[in-house]
């Protein structure tokens, strides 16, 4: 059984009875021998410091409109909401009139511009894991909201044989739903249930709904999101976690 690691505590991976888990494991592997497997990485938040950039860019852009917004307000009103609905909620909260759709678009443009200018804090071990599985013939897709050509420049050090960028705009701020993960799998040309998603907490539920195995990287800014369905919930990609992630792909070291 794979054990998740968080703050030194062991957490159960997927919920359910032992018998149910055995059935799930059997159904996941039966009939799939020889089929290609893939890895999808939510690059904006797992590779880059996307959430920090989001908060900074939105705070600055809203400030230009005379709207003071702190981190907690942005997280509560925007993250996980559609742009129009989230921005409308924020404007109502601060008591400011305005065009929510236009303001959301302006803030998103500022966020993407800032995102492409930063290399962020690369999670320890994620790039090593990417190169490792790619060398084994596993396809890897880096999911990003950046335009494809821009993303190729930002993630140039990551690209190579079996590693591509997948430009995907989420329906909700900072959160990919099941439909986004599924589209990404199809762009990678891998069956969803044979994909391993390396996700932020906000998007973990979407990957689970798309029938993927999940490694969720803990982010204290997103600790209010439920990652209960993740196979692994970790703070960093240590060698032990990489070994467990390979196990989820049915690959032995």
Give tens-digit pLDDT for 80-108: 899 999 999 999 999 999 999 999 999 99
Confidence band, pLDDT 50/70/90 cuts, at residue 111: very high
Distance of CA 207 to the CA centre of its chain: 9
**CA–CA gap between residue 102 and residue 61 (Å, rounded):** 12
**198 CB-near residues (< 8 Å, 6+ apart):** 39, 40, 41, 42, 46, 126, 214, 215, 217, 245
Q: What is the CA radius of gyration of the chain?
A: 19
The answer to which of 120-129, 138-147, 152-161 has the lowest mean pLDDT is 120-129
pLDDT value at 141 more than 50: yes
**Average of pLDDT values for 64-90?**
93
Distances (CA, A) of 145 to 11, 149, 246: 31, 11, 26
Query: pTM of the prediction?
Result: 0.83
Confidence band, pLDDT 50/70/90 cuts, at residue 119: low
Pick from 154, 184, 174: nearest CA to 47? 154
Residue 227 has what pLDDT? 75
**CA–CA gap between residue 146 and residue 121 (Å, rounded):** 17
Q: Are 37 and 138 in contact (CB under 8 A)?
A: yes
pLDDT in tens, 155-209: 988 898 899 999 999 999 999 999 999 999 999 999 999 999 999 888 999 999 9
Q: What is the DSSP string of 185-234?
A: HHHHT--GGGEEEEE-HHHHHHHHHTT-EEEEEP-GGGTTS--TT-SEEE
* Average pLDDT score over the chain: 83
Residue 32 has what pLDDT? 54
Say what angle helices 178-188 and 201-209 make with each other, to 10 degrees. 70
Its sign, for the CA torsion 48, 52, 58, 59, is negative
Pick from 129, 123, 168, 128: nearest CA to 39? 129
pLDDT value at 11 more than 80: no
Q: Are 2 and 232 in contact (CB under 8 A)?
A: yes
Confidence band, pLDDT 50/70/90 cuts, at residue 251: confident
**139 CB-near residues (< 8 Å, 6+ apart):** 36, 37, 38, 39, 162, 163, 164, 188, 189, 190
Q: Are 170 and 176 in contact (CB under 8 A)?
A: yes
Residue 120 has what pLDDT? 52
Q: Which two tokens stand for residue 30?
A: 């039966």
Residue 13 has what pLDDT? 42
Q: Which two tokens stand for residue 117?
A: 């200018």
């Amino acid at each position: 059984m794979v054990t998740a690691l968080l703050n030194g505590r062991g957490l159960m991976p997927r919920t359910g009875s032992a018998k149910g888990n055995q059935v799930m494991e059997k159904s996941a592997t039966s009939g799939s021998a020889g089929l290609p497997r893939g890895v999808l990485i939510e690059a904006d938040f797992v590779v880059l410091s996307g959430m920090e950039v989001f908060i900074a860019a939105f705070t600055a852009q809203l400030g230009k409109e005379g709207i003071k917004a702190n981190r907690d307000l942005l997280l509560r009103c925007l993250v996980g909401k559609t742009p129009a609905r989230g921005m409308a909620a924020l404007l109502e909260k601060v008591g400011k009139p305005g065009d929510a759709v236009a303001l959301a678009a302006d803030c998103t443009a500022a966020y993407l511009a800032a995102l492409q200018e930063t290399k962020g804090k690369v999670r320890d071990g994620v790039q090593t894991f990417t190169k490792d599985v790619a060398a084994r013939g596993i396809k890897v897709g880096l999911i990003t909201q950046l335009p494809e050509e821009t993303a190729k420049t930002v993630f140039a050090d990551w690209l190579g044989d079996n590693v591509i960028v997948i430009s995907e705009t989420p329906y909700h701020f900072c959160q990919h739903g099941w439909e986004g993960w599924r589209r990404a799998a199809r762009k990678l040309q891998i069956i969803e249930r044979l994909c391993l998603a390396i996700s932020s907490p906000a998007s973990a539920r979407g990957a689970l709904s798309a029938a993927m195995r999940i490694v969720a990287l803990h982010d204290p800014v997103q600790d209010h999101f439920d990652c209960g369905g993740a196979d692994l919930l970790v703070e960093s990609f240590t060698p032990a976690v990489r070994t467990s992630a390979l196990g989820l792909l049915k690959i032995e070291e």
